[in-house]
Chains A and B, each alone.
Chain A
Amino acid sequence: MKILATVKRVTDPDMKIKIKPDETGVVTEGVEYKMNSFDEYGVEEAISIKEEHGGEVVVVSIGPAASTKELRTAMAMGADRAILVETDQDLDSDAVARVLTEVVGREEPDVIVMGKQSVDSDRNQAAQLLASYLGWPQATFAFNVDISDGWATVGREVDGGTSTKRIELPGIITADLRLNEPRYASLPGIMKAKRKPLDTLTPDELGVDIAPRVNVLKFEAPEEREAGEILEDVDELVDRLQNEANVI
């Protein structure tokens, strides 16, 4: 079974994001980057599918040359090889999906595992767009995946509870939090990853026009809440809720 997983290089989610004074983007100087956390769950799932069913795990990233670091991390976890579609442009989800459509056309995987969203742009679109462009079924927000007889049975996190869906492969799965515990790269894994193949392509070479359908015009900080008061005790809290906030 050939499994394709996607990896996005994102700003470290624990760092404070600063907006450029001219509101055209966020400050990138001094910012640290890491693999999108949901993609870690996706890569882990891809590797565990391979461990159960055999085959190959190919990881793909779209982004600047520096994204090779995150691809090496995925290969250190256990992915077999990597493809970087190199661009310094910040693609919208539609362009990401169209680039991936071409990569999938070349690789012909049986299943694709992606993070449910990236923690920088928070769009939650690329996998579903890709599924539509490929004409494949999708199982988003997965917390459990079971593959047998060419179908994936997927437990999904949905509003109000959980849901189970079966999709015939090839299909796309997106990873949610409870899916697995991503493994750490071992030292031998890291050494091995250095020698694993990493191919670099460009959107041009894939014949994809990456012009956006959604243009970002302005970046702003949200309105900040003002810190309130520290109260003495429960009695004061009840009194304030009742007589000041009028919510009890």
Chain B
Amino acid sequence: MSHSLQMAHGGGGRLSRELIEAEILPRFGQGPLQGLPDAASLELPSNRVAYSTDSFVVKPVEFPGGNIGTLAVHGTANDLAVCGAEPRWMSLALILEEGLSLDLLRRILDTIRDTANAGNIQVVTGDLKVVGRGQCDALYVNTSGIGVIQPAFALAPSHVQPGDMLLVSGPVGDHGMAVLAAREHLDFTHGPVSDTGPIYPLVRAALPWAPAIRFMRDPTRGGVAAVLNEIASGLPVDLQVDESAIPIDRRTAAVAELLGIDILQVACEGRVLAICAAGAAQHVLDAWQGCPEGRQSALIGTVTPGTGRVLLKTRTGGTRLLDIPAGELLPRIC
């Protein structure tokens, strides 16, 4: 086989078949994908499932802490997990650019296999297309996932009440800054590392206190600021966040500072924000801190009666609004 991808690898003929047999089946062919049926047939253990889809177009496709493959599995699985569902099955659709290095493709497929296995997720159906050089940027990945909802959870922003507490499962903003630093070739000796990782282990750890958890969300694009504002918007509450309590990795903080970017508006890919009743907050925190994914979890704020605002008590001791990013993050000019 050649070292780079040709158009014919996606054409449905002999080369397609060879690519699938050499690269896809050995990695994913044990379960429902065996024999390459047109659709997967699944035995659902419950009639309440969560279903989600996401597309991944990250540039560069490999970055400190992960690659587009880790993102493609975690991104979809985490969307299911924050709905209180255990991710079980996933589809995998690849759009590949002509000329893509097969070594790179193999590395990414290995990552997808390992990441899915680690999360007990089966890749059950898929698709592969090749487009001409310049018509996509290396490769794009789409995944859809199905998860089994844990009935103990009843999650909705409207359940949030004054007195509740805010938790975050680890340092924020690492993913966004790691990708930005890699894209701009900012070579740091100790640069930021993406937090791309699974959230379901944390959701499972919190199961004993599920009825006390009001809402969960993974702070991806727009970061913590966007998620908190989405939650607060339209509710008769204010979210009071303590800046000094938010865990932040020093490497990430340094890069964000250098570029003038507000770290609370930067994406995470392996963190979860939860709002839960005060009585259960410490228990959930302890449970999270006992998981490898949540060792740096922290209580970062409280809910008070209010008008849908997110207020940040700054490290300096002042108070300000924590607003959502307006659009592009523009550089400072003076």
Q: Please say whether chains A and B are actual partners in one complex.
A: no
Binding site for B on A (CB under 8 A): none
